[in-house]
Amino acid sequence: MPKTRDIQALPIWKGRATLGEGLLWSPSRNRLFFVDILGKRVLSCAIDGSGVQQWAMPRRVCWLVECAGSGDFLVGLEDSIVYASFIPGAPVEILRNLDWRLALPPTARFNDAKADATGRVYCGTMDDKESAPIGALFTIAPGGAVAQLDAGYTVTNGPAISPDGATLYHTDSPARTVYAFKRAPGGMLSAKRPHIHFAEADGYPDGMTCDAEGGLWVAHWDGGRVSRFHPDGSFDRGITVPASRVTSCTFCGPNFDRLAITTAAYERESEPLAGALFIADPGCVGLAAGRYGLAA
């Protein structure tokens, strides 16, 4: 796919996250939240990068989703999912564990997740050694029930949901493939198909988000950019990021017209902006992130 250089991402925080991921914009807090998986921390800042706050986590932390009503978060740690509270100036408070009864393979860990507009969470697991297809895609219903939807992934990434809720996108990064599923009103998935395939020169598809027009924005790990694809999977345009390992993106700001982007400093000591948090003007608007626990 072409590399476009008409849109540039600018750094707003240069703290070098070892593995930045899981971007979330909280309208009620007017702040961005993201995780540093290998750094075992959750971070938060204003849309201009100011007022950075961080919370040390007991284990690697992979994603977080706001909970509806309570002000707490549902958080994916490497080996469990917990409810947690992040209060500025105070240590993280782990409130309780989600009742997860499905067994995971010994080398599997959680990796990425997203909530839909009904309060349902889609989350994936991956092989911690990044070599075997032992990862799976799960759903967590608003009431807490967990079900496996798909399997055979080495490194799950993504999930993103189309504005009409009819399509869920999910990625196996080592396969360089973004898949699309038909999504039923109750949240179940069917009709899996390859949607976008990355060439070697493009790097690997990582975190994703949809805009209000149905465009899919995909971060390029080892590709140094974020690309927008039309709903039919054709390439539209890109954003250049001055760091090679781009990991996730989300729309943010009062009008959801800015795109925040995380990166990773892991094995990129020679890149001065690796691990930074970036912001760009994507030329379109996005949607509010789903919150866990809303009534379906």
Active site residues: 206
Q: What is the pLDDT of residue 1?
A: 64
One digit per residue, the tens of pLDDT, for the chain of length 296 reads 655 546 899 999 999 999 999 999 999 999 999 999 999 999 999 999 999 999 999 999 999 999 998 889 999 999 999 999 999 999 999 999 999 989 899 999 999 999 999 999 999 999 999 999 999 999 999 999 999 999 999 999 999 999 999 999 999 999 999 999 999 988 999 999 999 999 999 999 999 999 999 999 999 999 999 999 999 999 999 999 999 999 999 999 999 999 999 999 999 999 999 999 999 999 999 999 999 997 54
The C-alpha atoms of residue 251 and residue 258 are separated, in whole angstroms, by: 6
Nearest one of 41, 57, 24 to 260, comparing CA atoms: 24
As a CATH number, domain 10-280 is 2.120.10.30
Structure tokens at 17: 């996250």
Q: What is the pLDDT of residue 296?
A: 41
Q: What is the pLDDT of residue 180?
A: 98
- Strand bridging mode 189-197 / 135-140: unpaired
